[in-house]
């Protein structure tokens, strides 16, 4: 946590090539580049790492980028690496299965190389004397990306969609959850009461996601999904991450030792992680169809 296109197969179903056959060494290298970089940075002397932290009172472009890769606490580092690994690997698996490898290869460097600077400078919109570091803001971008990747996977492989409506519906469903979790302390909600309210808000919005996906033959398409090896597991993991990660990223008590979780960066990374790819994809589809 931070502290203060390729042609795609339509409804390919179980005849499509197995996911394992689509993974290339370059895919593994790309995913592994972030943990390796974070690990190497963690080996730098502590004083050097502190010098790379983004200071709101004295912002610089180099620290705006580098601070996302800096962790002073090994637990902080481990949490962010595990979170990133789950999110990025699931996003890649969905995009490979739906024929969107090229899109992932565009989104990945955008998140990892551009978002650190963007998130750092957007933090200056809230004047305060503080510093920020850690990769979780970038990791949250992959949470935002998951609704688009999952919707395209369900639409391309099983005709459950359309993705242009299902993706924003899934995003808004998880946004309802994030909204309640991020403000629950302001309403003095604790424990199970906050959790139940968050889940109720999310499930209410998720109902809309199910409505936009309803078709006369939806049951047949869902049966095809259930009968495709690995499809249920991949869908379940992606959906679980979309709705479970917010509980980690937006806890009731953001204090962590001498610091505090940067919930603002988490929210920005999450929102931009969906909006930037979705708007880009929608614009391309509009141009192609015009």
Q: What is the pLDDT at residue 236?
A: 94
Query: Does residue 77 surpass a pLDDT of 90?
Result: yes
Least confident of 15-24, 58-67, 142-151, 164-173: 15-24
The answer to whether 260 touches 3, Cβ cutoff 8 Å, is: yes
Q: Where are the beta strands (DSSP E) in the chain?
A: 54-55, 131-132, 255-256, 259-260
Q: What is the pLDDT at residue 22?
A: 81
**Which residues contact residue 205 at a Cβ distance below 8 angstroms, ignoring those fewer than 6 apart?**
169, 172, 173, 175, 176
| Each residue's pLDDT tens digit, 172-202 | 888 888 877 776 654 544 444 555 555 555 5
Pairing between β-strand 259-260 and β-strand 255-256 as defined by DSSP bridges: antiparallel
CA 243 – CA 177 distance, rounded (Å): 8
Strand partners, 55: 131
Q: Who wins on pLDDT, 40 or 218? A: 40
Binned at pLDDT 50, 70 and 90, residue 6 comes out as very low
Q: What is the pLDDT at residue 12?
A: 47
The pLDDT of 142-149, averaged and rounded, is 96
| Largest distance between two CA atoms of the chain | 63
Q: Who wins on pLDDT, 51 or 10? A: 51
The pLDDT of 88-100, averaged and rounded, is 95
If we measure between CA atoms, which residue out of 18, 3, 143, 20 comes closest to residue 75? 3
Query: Does residue 204 surpass a pLDDT of 80?
Result: no
Query: Does residue 93 surpass a pLDDT of 60?
Result: yes
Helix (H, G, I), strand (E, B) or coil at 159: coil
| Each residue's pLDDT tens digit, 211-260 | 544 555 777 788 888 888 889 999 999 999 999 999 888 887 777 777 78
The answer to whether 145 touches 91, Cβ cutoff 8 Å, is: yes
Helix (H, G, I), strand (E, B) or coil at 59: coil
- The structure's pTM equals 0.85
Query: Does residue 119 surpass a pLDDT of 90?
Result: yes
Q: What is the pLDDT at residue 205?
A: 53
If we measure between CA atoms, which residue out of 238, 279, 273, 256 comes closest to residue 119? 273
CA 279 – CA 289 distance, rounded (Å): 15
Q: Who wins on pLDDT, 177 or 106? A: 106
The answer to whether 245 touches 136, Cβ cutoff 8 Å, is: no
């Amino acid at each position: 946590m931070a502290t203060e296109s390729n042609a795609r197969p339509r409804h390919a179903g179980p005849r499509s090539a197995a996911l394992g056959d689509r993974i290339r060494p370059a895919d593994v290298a790309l995913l592994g580049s972030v943990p390796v970089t974070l690990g190497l940075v963690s080996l730098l002397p502590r004083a050097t790492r502190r010098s790379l932290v983004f200071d709101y009172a004295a912002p610089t472009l180099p620290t705006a980028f580098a601070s996302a890769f800096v962790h002073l606490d090994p637990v902080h580092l481990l949490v962010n690496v595990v979170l990133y690994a789950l999110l990025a690997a699931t996003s890649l698996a969905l995009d490979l299965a739906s024929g969107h490898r090229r899109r992932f290869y565009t989104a990945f460097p955008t998140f990892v190389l551009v978002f650190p600077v963007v998130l750092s400078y957007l933090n200056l919109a809230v004047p305060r004397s503080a510093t920020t570091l850690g990769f979780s803001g970038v990791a949250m971008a992959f949470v935002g990306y998951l609704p688009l990747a999952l919707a395209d996977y369900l639409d391309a492989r099983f005709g459950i969609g359309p993705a242009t409506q299902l993706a924003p519906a899934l995003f808004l469903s998880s946004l309802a959850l994030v909204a309640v979790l991020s403000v629950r302390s302001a309403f003095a909600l604790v424990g199970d009461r906050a959790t139940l309210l968050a889940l109720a808000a999310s499930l209410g919005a998720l109902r809309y996601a199910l409505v936009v996906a309803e078709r006369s033959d939806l049951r047949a398409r869902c049966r095809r999904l259930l009968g495709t090896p690995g499809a249920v597991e991949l869908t379940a993991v992606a959906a679980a991450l979309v709705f479970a990660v917010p509980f980690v990223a937006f806890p009731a008590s953001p204090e962590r030792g001498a610091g505090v979780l940067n919930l603002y960066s988490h929210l920005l990374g999450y929102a931009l992680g969906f909006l930037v790819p979705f708007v880009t994809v929608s614009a391309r589809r509009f141009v192609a169809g015009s």
